[in-house]
Amino acid sequence: MVHGGAGALDNVKDDKTAVRYLEALRRILEHGREIMKLGGSALQSVEACAALLEDDPVFNAGCGSVLNENGKVEMDAAIMDGRDLSAGAVAAVSNIANPVQLARLVMTKSEHVMLISDGAMQFAKHCGIGLAPENYFYTQDRIAQLEDARRKHKIMLDHDSTEEDSEDQKYGTIGAVARDPQGNLAAATSTGGIVNKRLGRVGDSPIIGAGVYADNETCAVSATGYGEEFMRTVISKTICDFAYMKSMDAEQATKAGIEYLKNKVNGRGGVIVIDNEGNCASGFTTKKMIHGWIEHGGKVNVRF
Ligand code: GLY
């Protein structure tokens, strides 16, 4: 499963843009399936899918990341392996083309789970990852979005509407979850965060248990939404706990998790979930969520 952000998405009014999102998801899902067909693991598949989403400027991650209060890109990402709960995360990194790949390196080549900011970038250098130039990240849309947010003196959520109090918002983040034929689960999440955010603000995406979680005994989860609400409810782990403690499948655990998110903090956003039997589920409190899935090796489904 993959997702490309939650929200009302009324801002995507023309069919051409909608098709653009859906075609990207379809292509990336096929790519993820191909990796596993060729013997790759769920972990390899989610890393590759998340990296492809980071490479597409329409999504709020990697090169399409939104800008912070200083007009800079600061990105967060995490990856988790359900086989042994190993995990890696990076927060507030700049000039990294694929933060999810750096998160994977934190997991496999350091003794830590999370590295932040300059330390994470120093580690990238140590691992031989070159820095991407500033202009790799700056799209006209993102600059206009920041100017709009500054004019209104507000923090905006990715594709926020210019209308005050409108629900026309897209809480951008990208993510992928997978189960491979061996029954192993993995999850990855990556984001540029929210528009005009404070320097140093970190959202839910790199927080293990909030924006991402995977455990072979239960589920793999990737979240997209207003990070602060997802952190306060530790939503990804909460969904896995529902599955574990109440013997719920992906659909039941997702429903219970989304109800919890709504009732506790009126959380805005959504999740994609695969359980240990390969059942796919999605849930969101926003009007829509861009996501897609291939269940039990069947056909590709994409939703807007
Ligand atoms: N869910 C993305 C963020 O709040 O940063």
Question: Which residue of the set 139, 173, 224, 254 is catalytic?
Answer: 173
pLDDT, mean of each 10-residue run, the chain (304 residues): 83 74 95 95 98 95 93 96 98 98 98 98 96 88 80 62 46 91 98 93 98 98 96 98 98 98 97 97 94 89 91
Q: How far, in Å, is the centroid of ligand 1 from the Cα of 20?
A: 23
Check residue 161 and give its pLDDT.
47
pLDDT at 156: 60
Q: Which H or E element spans position 78?
A: strand 75-81
The kind and range of the H/E element at 259 are helix 250-265
User: CA 27, 202, 87: angle at the middle one, nearest 5?
Assistant: 60
Q: Is the torsion defined by CA of 43, 1, 294, 220 positive or negative?
A: positive
Nearest-atom index, ligand 1, CA of 202: 5
Output the ligand 1 site: residues, CB below 6 A.
Answer: 173, 191, 193-194, 203-205, 211, 224-227
Best residue among 230, 284, 286 to mutate for probing ligand 1's pocket (most ligand atoms within 8 Å of CB) is 230
Residue 17 confidence (pLDDT): 78
How far CA 153 is from CA of 147, 149, 167, in Å, comes to 10, 6, 18
Write down the pLDDT at residue 165: 41
Domain locations in the chain as residue ranges: 2-294
Residues paired with residue 170 on neighbouring β-strands, in sequence order: 7, 158
For the chain, the first-to-last Cα distance in angstroms comes to 14
Long-range CB contacts (within 8 A, 24+) of 84-89: 85/214, 85/215, 87/113, 87/208, 87/212, 88/113, 88/114, 89/113, 89/114, 89/115, 89/206, 89/207, 89/208
Taking alpha carbons only, the member of 236, 259, 239 closest to residue 249 is 239
Taking the CA of residue 269 as reference, the ligand 1 atom at the shortest distance is: 1
pLDDT one-digit tens code per residue, 128-156: 999 999 999 977 778 888 788 777 766 66
Ligand 1 atom 4, closest CA: 227
CA of 193 to the centre of ligand 1 (A): 5
Is residue 173 among the annotated active site residues?
A: yes
How big is the chain, counted in residues?
Answer: 304
Atom of ligand 1 at shortest distance to CA of 197?
5
Beta carbons within 8 Å of 280's beta carbon, 6+ residues apart? 1, 250, 272, 273, 274, 293, 295
- In this prediction, residue 170 carries a pLDDT of 62
CATH 3.60.20.30 fits 2-294, yes or no: yes
Tell me, what DSSP letter sits at residue 158?
Answer: B
- If one residue of 53, 226, 235, 261 were mutated to test the ligand 1 pocket, choosing by the most ligand atoms within 8 A of its CB, it would be 226
